[in-house]
A = this chain, B = another copy of it.
């Protein structure tokens, strides 16, 4: 741990910054080597882990609050995809050599804000000096009712395929964050997209719907087409998507109309953090009715079929993408 005069040592850093964020029942004020958790009877633990590295997964000069919140949210998104309720998280924090207290203070403010929003306390972790890029490793824990976990591999021919929210905003937001879209968007549109890139919306609110209806579910972190291909492969099925049905935001729609090849970015880029799930066709009406009780829109975008890989069709029934890996080569 860095111990220069102007900065706290590891113990002081834990006591000052991290102890106030922790769940006292599980982590004893972070004064111990380990956290203790009781999983309620009839519940099963869901665990997921994401590493995030500066200038790979976020920009090192992004606001520290937003880096913290995105790190939590990409993990919460994985929990949401499994229909889980957040329980808590462990934080591995690799600080670069030039970290300072202002940065860390703002970073912890971001953690605090989203911990509150998602009832997701810190339960433990480790802080080290990396000498190079900021590196975050989050282990997120949640609970689901014990029974049949909702896995990618359970997609069945005959299922409908749904997505939450709108697709492509994260990838278009990355372009906007880089300034690539400045001639194509208003500043309001650009701000909307950048915000979607910097601050994913983990769909924890949809967990009850996922638990009740979904046969298979995952979050879309690497692009709809690529992630649908992963689901198709895990389940040994084909997933057919209808281009016209894929929901874009107003900003996304406008961009694709002005520059059609941005549809490629929208469908293949990362950082959506929306849910991709399947459910038996017989539940379609109930799902669409239930969805109306949530703020987040749900859209049926295709179907699971016997076969392999992802197929994307336009309204004239032209196949735009056909293949196992969802590569978007024909646009």
Contacts and interface: CB of A to CB of B under 8 A. Distances in A.
B31 A48 contact: no
Interface stretch (A127-135, A170-178, A254-262, A303-311): A127-135
Interface bin, chain A: 35 or more
A244 interface: no
A218 interface: yes
A215 interface: no
A300 to B, nearest CB: 22
A153 B36 CA distance: 14
A187 B123 CA distance: 44
Nearest to A37: B45
A126 interface: yes
A79 B32 CA distance: 11
A170 to B, nearest CB: 17
A34 interface: yes
Contact of A131 (B36, B46, B56, B230): B56
A53 B90 contact: no
A41 interface: yes
A213 to B, nearest CB: 18
A9 to B, nearest CB: 10
Nearest to A96: B132
A47 B123 contact: yes
Q: Can you tell how many copies of this chain the complex includes?
A: 2
B56 A34 contact: no
A82 interface: yes
A245 interface: no
Interface in A76-132: 78-79, 81-82, 84, 90-94, 123-132
Interface string A131-161: 1110101010100101001011100000000
A20 to B, nearest CB: 17
A57 interface: yes
A38 B45 contact: yes
Contacts of A28: 151, 153
A62 B126 CA distance: 23
A33 B81 contact: yes
B33 A152 contact: yes
Of residues A35, A36, A84, A144, which shows the largest number of chain B Cβ atoms within 10 Å of its Cβ?
A: A36
A250 interface: no
B34 A47 contact: yes
B139 A49 contact: yes
5 contacts: A11-B230, A31-B153, A35-B46, A36-B44, A51-B93
Interface of A: 11, 28, 31-39, 41, 44-53, 55-57, 78-79, 81-82, 84, 90-94, 123-133, 135, 137, 139, 141, 144, 146, 149, 151-153, 218-219, 230, 234
- In order of increasing CB-CB distance, the 4 nearest A-B pairs are A137-B137, A132-B132, A139-B139, A92-B137
